[in-house]
Chain A
Amino acid sequence: MQSIISIFVKSVFVDNMIFAYFLGMCTFIAISKEVKAAFSLGVAVIVALTVTVPLNWIFYHYFLAEGALAWTGIEALATIDLSFLGLLTYISIIAAFIQLLEMIVEKYYPSLYNTLGIFLPLLAVNCAILAGSLFMVGRPYNLAEATAYGAGSGVGWFLAITSLAALREKIKYSNVPAPLRGVGITFILIGLMAFGYLSFIGFTI
């Protein structure tokens, strides 16, 4: 239990997807002009990461890893290493899940769909979602830890985009040099925020 909490907190603050690895930056910059949109996208990322990371964990450990096919009982399959197929598998699972999620939300939660609608397809090509699965494979997590890691990464991403959107709403009232307005100053803001998150390094529970 303790390891799960510690993995969760660590992936929110120390290994923050945005400020430690700079993943999912395209959507991070494009959708952070308003807090409301940023909030909706953040929630969608939390859902996507919490579900796809454990899903991919199951696929990796029961189909792709070396010796993973031993459960079939067929001797010839027991030593096969399919991990080079990882990338293709993860991206298909992610894309399929996002498509499914979009259809479910559209059918049963139309009001949520109206807020999230345009962001859901974007998630399939968000680096943060794919990176969640790629990092998970490289670390010795079990299923519960992988879920905690996915959820934590999602929450970290959510915090990052909501706080950046709040800052960008405020910076409209500042006198920024004209060519630096918009994207330029946003990069510098992100750099400064990343310094803040650096202070969490070495932080353990």
Chain B
Amino acid sequence: MSTESIEQPIKQKSEPLFGKKNRKLLSNPLDADNPVTVQILGICSALAVTVQMKPALFMAVGVTIIVGLSSFIISLMRNLIPNRVRIIVQLMVAATLVVIIDQLFKAYAYDISKQLSVYISLILTNCILLGRIEAFAMGNKPWPSLLDGIGNGAGYGAILMITAVFRELLGSGSLFGYKLLGSSYIGNGVMILPAGACFVIGLVVWMQRARNGYREE
């Protein structure tokens, strides 16, 4: 016990900005601890915005920024928030960031913002956002919280992009709007429907678990 309490401050002082532990915070959510396929968070938008690559990319960037910054801000305030009203405080901080991103997309990428419609606003109730704030930012320092938020946003973005590649390529024969499969290719209608996204994500989960050897009871 006593050795631990002595070691703790020394260890934290010597932890560099991109030390091994902090690098892990960034890289873990990309695969072994992926928010979508392992923690099963943030599914709604992963299914809804992945018909094409471009909106999916914007969504991924938006979520990464919002999760990273709100984790950072909540972590700065974590000792001031009363426990009973913490959900409302967390929602208010996150909602402000979501509104800013929403207005930015409306101003500089209007077409994309139209395509994403309510799903930008729904980042607010994206479980990744509150999940990371509750599980990590409330108990950790600002810098690791920021990295954890960005890592989880990126992990979410990676699954979004994988799903969108399959759906856009098979559904409309293009990537980022550029035709790849020629006009003789007849798009697979299932991939354009949200149901297609369920199948793709189901298969991605299958592949990942087969590779990692993870299984569920």
Contact = CB atoms under 8 A, between A and B. Distances in A.
Interface residues of A, number: 47
A195 B196 CA distance: 10
A185 interface: yes
Contacts of B130: 125
B109 interface: no
B193 A178 contact: no
Contacts of B162: none
A16 B213 CA distance: 35
Contacts of B96: 88
B194 interface: yes
Interface in B165-195: 193-195
Interface string A16-43: 0001111111100110000000000000
Contacts of A131: 118, 122, 125
B194 A181 contact: no
Contact of B216 (A99, A183, A192): A183
Chain B interface extent, by class? 35 or more
A96 B209 CA distance: 40
A194 interface: yes
Interface string A119-162: 00100111101110011001000000000000000000000000
Interface stretch (B5-13, B64-72, B87-95, B137-145): B87-95
A121 B87 contact: yes
Contact of A88 (B48, B99, B197, B205): B99
A184 B212 CA distance: 14
B103 A26 contact: no
| Chain A residues touching B, majority SS | helix
Contact of B40 (A30, A84, A195): A30
B122 A25 contact: no
A184 B124 contact: no
A179 to B, nearest CB: 4
Nearest to A22: B47
Contacts of A184: 202-203, 205-206, 209
A180 interface: yes
Contacts of B215: 178-179, 181-182
A114 B26 CA distance: 39
B198 A191 contact: yes
Given A19-B195, A184-B206, A191-B196, 4 more contacts: A22-B43, A127-B126, A134-B118, A182-B216
The 5 A-B pairs of least Cβ separation, nearest first, read A182-B216, A191-B198, A187-B202, A25-B43, A179-B209
24 contacts: A21-B194, A22-B48, A23-B122, A26-B43, A26-B44, A29-B43, A87-B99, A87-B124, A88-B92, A91-B124, A95-B88, A124-B91, A127-B125, A127-B126, A134-B121, A134-B122, A177-B206, A180-B202, A180-B206, A181-B215, A183-B40, A184-B205, A186-B202, A190-B198
